Chains A and B, each alone.
Chain A
């Protein structure tokens, strides 16, 4: 069965650079969530989209932006990267109904040096 695809799997950037993370949800899933997980931490909600519109916003820095495109894939854009942005970034998708599971991708490991 198709799963959530994230790319790239690993990314190394220098401070003050920009990064773009991509997420391809499971087909026919119209909701996408983005999470950030620091070392030894629980996943922190960043932002979500439903039917290409922003649904919820969490602890996402102003330096980050995201959008969901017409084909439902989503991109997380991160600018002016800081060392503290080093983390695992997960994308999840769901069919958009309240009581349905959210399925996560394998994550993108971002290292800022």
Chain B
């Protein structure tokens, strides 16, 4: 089963608008990471938020984490056409004999119209 589920599955906005993507997960995590992927290309790391953090910023990106609700959100402010991509959240869980692994959600396809 999916550890992370994202909504919306697709988001279409105009340049300059803000885009918000949400991610929910099922079990306790060490951290949650957001990635961007342009069509058929590699995964680009955007931001990591630890389980003891509630909010983190990086440029036009703002990520929140609510461990009580097991959810996270990614806000992209003042979006640009170049932000058009798929965005994935990934939860990192380590424990026991495991050094940890990232489990990805289904992703949100963001389209920013010029």
Residues of A at the B interface (CB closer than 8 Å) are 31, 33, 35, 42-45, 48, 50, 55-56, 58, 88, 90, 92, 96, 98-107, 109
Interface of B is mostly: strand
Given contacts A98-B30, A106-B42, contact A58 B106 (CB under 8 A): no
Residue of B nearest to A50 (CB): B99
Once the chains bind, are B106 and A42 in contact (CB under 8 Å)? yes
- How far, in whole Å, are A90 and B101 apart by their CA atoms in the complex? 14
Once the chains bind, are A56 and B45 in contact (CB under 8 Å)? no
Contacts of A56 in B (CB 8 A): 98-101
A21 to chain B, nearest CB (A): 14
Once the chains bind, are B43 and A99 in contact (CB under 8 Å)? no
Residues of B at the A interface (CB closer than 8 Å) are 2, 30-31, 33, 35, 40-45, 48, 50, 88, 92, 94, 98-107
